[in-house]
Amino acid sequence: MKLVIVTAVEEFQRDVLKLFKKANIHNFSSSDIDGYKNGSSILMASSWFSSEKSGNESSLFFSFTDNENIDVLFDVIKEFNSNLETNNPIKAVVVPIERYI
């Protein structure tokens, strides 16, 4: 069992759900997050007088799942990203789990 973490801009939220389904990952959690691409955006966000929202609305998904499902998920994410016309690919990482209850 491993932990897979996926991030995507809000526009791709439904696509990520479809990719999870294709990978047979039915149990997962999600959260709305703000994504940043460079340090200057973070500095703008910390300004008391900043009138602009500097982060991109994004989603974070995570699931504790088996290696086989993760392999399929990575394959379908690679395929999805290869057809993108934007510079905001879906990103995924895997974290090994040493113990769980």
CATH number at residue 74: 3.30.70.120
* Any domain includes 42: yes
Per-residue pLDDT tens digits for 63-84: 999 999 999 999 999 999 999 9
The pLDDT, as a whole number, for residue 43 is 52
How would DSSP label each residue in 19-32?
Answer: HHHHTT----EEEE
* Any domain includes 101: no
Q: Is the pLDDT of residue 46 over 60?
A: no
Per-residue pLDDT tens digits for 15-37: 999 999 999 999 999 999 987 77
Q: Whole-prediction pTM value?
A: 0.81
Q: Give residues with Cβ within 8 angstroms of 71, minimum separation 6.
A: none
What crossing angle do the helices spanning 67-82 and 13-22 adopt, rounded to 10°? 140
In total, how many domains does the chain have?
1
What's the mean pLDDT when you consider all of the chain?
Answer: 87
Q: What domain range is 36 assigned to?
A: 2-96
| Cβ atoms < 10 Å from Cβ of 27 | 8
pLDDT band at 11 (very low <50, low <70, confident <90, very high): very high
* Any domain includes 82: yes
